[in-house]
Amino acid sequence: MGEIISPTYTLALISYADWLGRRYRDGIANGLYSQGVQMGTTTFSGPVKSGPVISGATSGGYRGLDLKDTNWVKNSFVHYFQEPAAQDADGICTSQTTSAAADLTLDGALTQTVNGNSIYAPALGSAVSTTADAAWARRIAITSDGNDSGITFTVYGTDVNGKALSEAVTGPSSTETQTANTLVGIFKSVTKITTSASTVGNITVGTAAVAADVYCRALGTIPYQSTITGIKIWVAEAFNAGTADPMEIGKSDDQDYLADVATAIMRAVTTTGNTGGAVTVDATQNAVWKSVSQEDTGSDSVAYDSDVQVVLTYTPTGALSTTGQAWIKIEFMQAKNLASGDTW
C-alpha cells in the first residue's frame, strides 16, 4: 500500500512549487529588464509579441508571460502649428540695386547664416524665426519702386518637402509681384535670388500675404501601404482669417489626399478633451486611408511607389489670420493595409 501524504506536507509542496514558480518568473523578468538596458534603441515592424505562453498559467502571478500577441502596433505623429506670420516685405532682402545681372544680397531680418551662406529658412528655427508661425512654406514677394518689368528675377530654394525649387518671375513696376500661388511652387526656404540685368528701382524681397494665398507645412512621413486609423485636431486658439479658414491634409501633389478640415473646426477652441476635432473624409479619401502610397520617379526615369510626405495646407480667404494655435495627430498602422485584403 502507498503511504498516505499528510495535508500539511501537501500544502508545503504547493507552497514550495509556488515559490519556485515566482522565482522563475522574477528571474525571467530580471533577465528581460537587463537585456533591455543593454540593448540599443532601434526600429522594428509589427506584430509585437510578448513571448511564449506557459500552458495553463493563468493565475499566480504569471499573467505577463501568458500574452501571445498584442496585435499590430499603431504609430502616430503629432504636430503643433500656428497661424502664418504676417508679411515681411523686406525680410529676405533689404532695399538694394544691381548694376548688372547679379545675385541679390540676402540680408533681411528673416535670414540666417548656414555654412557661411545667408539664406531664408525659418523651418530651421534660427534666432530670428523660432516661432511655429514662421515655418510655413509660402509665396515670396518682390517689390520695386521703379519699372523693373523688363527684368527677370529667379528665386532658388526648396519646396515644402525640402526638394530643390526655382522660379523665374517677371519684375514689378512700382509695385509688388509674387511667386506662383501653387502647392508645388511655394518656398520653404530661399537660398539665392538672381537678376537678369541691372535694376531700375530699389528692390526688396520678403514674404507675401495676399488673400487666398496657399500656405503649407510638412507634418511627417507615413510609410508606403500603411493604414490611416485616425486624424484629430485640437484647437487651442481659434483661427480668425477674414472670411474662412479652410485647411486640407494631403501631399504636395494632392492637397486633400487624406482629409478636409472645415472652417468651423479651426474657428472653435476644442473642448472635447481626448476626442479632438473631427476631419471630413469623403469616399475617395476613405479608400486612400486603407493603403497610403505615392508614386515617384527615380533617377532612371522608372516610376515606383513610395512613402507619403504628409503636408497641411492652409488657404485663408480675406485677411490673413492674426491668431490661431492647434495640434494635429495622425495615427496609422505601418505596412498593414486594408486595400490588399491583408488578414489581421
* Domain boundary assignment for the chain: 75-81+215-333, 85-207
Looking at residue 235, its amino acid is: V
| Distance (Å) of CA 107 to CA 104, 111, 113, 176, 208 | 9, 6, 10, 19, 17
Q: Give residue 57's pLDDT.
A: 47
Q: Is 168 helix (H, G, I), strand (E, B) or coil?
A: strand
Looking at residue 160, its amino acid is: V
* Residue with more model confidence, 72 or 183: 183
DSSP 103: B
Average pLDDT over residues 297-304: 72
* Residue with more model confidence, 301 or 287: 287
Predicted confidence (pLDDT) per residue in 168-188, tens digit: 999 999 999 999 998 888 999
Please, what is the Cα angle at 329 between 225 and 40, to 5 degrees? 70
Query: Residues near 208 by Cβ (< 8 Å), separated by ≥ 6?
Result: 87, 138, 139, 140, 141, 176, 178, 179
**Which of 72-86, 115-129, 154-168, 327-341 shows the highest mean pLDDT?**
154-168
Q: Give residue 15's pLDDT.
A: 56
- Whole-number average pLDDT of the chain: 80
Looking at residue 75, its amino acid is: N
- How far is the C-alpha of 305 from the C-alpha of 162, rounded, in Å? 19
Q: Is 29 helix (H, G, I), strand (E, B) or coil?
A: helix
Q: Reply yes or no on whether the pLDDT at 37 is more than 50.
A: no
- How far is the C-alpha of 149 from the C-alpha of 174, rounded, in Å? 9
pTM for this entry? 0.76
> Per-residue confidence at 127, pLDDT binned at 50, 70, 90?
very low
| Distance (Å) of CA 237 to CA 82, 195, 267, 331 | 9, 42, 8, 23
Q: What is the enclosing helix (H) or strand (E) of 66?
A: helix 63-66
